[in-house]
Structure 1
Amino acid sequence: MTSKATGPRTGERRAAILGAAARLFAAHGYRGVTIDDLGRAVGTTGPALYRHFPGKEALLGAVLVDVSERLAARGRTLVDRAEEPREALTALLRGHISFALDEPDLITVHDRELGNLTDEDRRTVRRLQRGYVEEWVGVLAALRPDTPGPALRASVHAAFGLLNSTPHSRGPLSRGAMADLLLRMGVAALLAEEPDPR
């Protein structure tokens, strides 16, 4: 009985710590945040965090590995559930747009702090990201069968750049309006016709 009660609480505590760490790292940079800052952000002391993570570097690694795992798992699930490639592409775009709009701190931390990861955590993040990209590439290959693989991968990375750069600049647009705009732009970008060589 105790172990069942403890599990969810432990998971919730870990999620709260990762969320607070992402916000602080995004706002102040990895080097500008102390373990005491992190502890205060979740209502405890810095040293108490060592029960969950061995240090700040491990916490940064957990933040970026966690989001990479979530994106990769969601990408696989969305593709598996779709009945045809266009539906899969729309689902992938909607899923990534939700991530970009709802968790912009994680995009900031990834872009700015990847170099502060341990070699092992960086390899893990890169491996997970490659798997996520390949889910998109597989869907695009079915929709654009005449386009070479390298061009499809470049298209996916360019689409990520588009989607990931916009959450901080939506201005007066509502979340729903921004999500719809990004979906239309994402579809247009990923399914764009190849330029006429003439």
Structure 2
Amino acid sequence: MGDRGPGGRRAEILRAAAELFAARGFHGVTIEDLGRAVGTTGPALYRHFPGKEALLASMLLDVSERLAADGRARAAAAADDPRAALEALLRGHVAFALGEPALITVHDRELGNVPAAERRRIRRLQRGYVEEWVAVLARLRPDRPAADLRAAVHAVFGLLNSTPHSAGGLSTDRMADLLLAMGTAALLADG
């Protein structure tokens, strides 16, 4: 099951929990179910997380931190070319959406089960990620108010994050191309 070091085991638990929470819901999964999914007992998971809520919070904080860091890096790598930066942001989010649909499902359904302090951190990270996109888009659409650009970014996230429901009928490459084209068109549309 991959790297069995402390970090590898923790990542393994988070992946298994994402799949179980996506399939059965946070309240439909016991700590024993989580333990069985990674080949251990439920109580053994307490070495990695103090409880199921902490596990969920870690999962959603981790993905929010990864997306925020990736967005910053992609925008910075193409800072001289806002069109290339936008494409890089889109490609990064498309790869995430196609590669980790369980996390999208868990976030959509279960964020309310995260303790308030961690939920605020997740939301703060997500706002920063959105603003990274808005800053790039503002360079391409200087005629548009920031509120319009922000709304467009959120709408495109809705499109991209629909993959748990929409990606089944196409190959991953074809779906990625389709999402890239649709996302680009939506972000640059007059409206």
Q: Partner amino acid for 2:46?
A: Y
Distance 1:174 1:49 in 2: 36
Unpaired runs of 5+ in structure 1? 1-6
Question: 1:94 maps to what in 2?
Answer: 91
Please give the residue correspondences for 1:113-192 in structure 2 after superposition, counting only pairs within 5 Å. 113-192=110-189
Question: 2:25 maps to what in 1?
Answer: 29
Question: 1:20 maps to what in 2?
Answer: 16
Q: Sequence identity of aligned pairs in percent?
A: 71
Question: 2:48 maps to what in 1?
Answer: 52
Q: Deviations over 1:117-146 (max 9, x none)?
A: 100110010000000000000000000001
Q: 1:173: Cα distance to partner? A: 1.2
The question of 1:62 aligning with 2:58 is answered: yes
Q: Deviations over 1:59-104 (max 9, x none)?
A: 0101100000000000000011013100000000000000100100
Q: 1:171: Cα distance to partner? A: 3.6
Unpaired runs of 5+ in structure 2? none
Distance 2:60 2:25 in 1: 14
Q: Partner amino acid for 2:165?
A: H
TM-score (norm 1): 0.92
Q: Alpha carbon RMSD of aligned pairs, Å?
A: 1.2
Distance 1:159 1:31 in 2: 30
TM-score (norm 2): 0.96
Aligned residue pair count = 188
Distance 1:34 1:78 in 2: 38
Partners of 2:14 and 2:59 within 8 A in 1? yes
Greater C-alpha Rg: 1
Question: Would you identify which runs of 4 or more consecutive aligned residues in structure 1 move more than 6 Å?
Answer: none
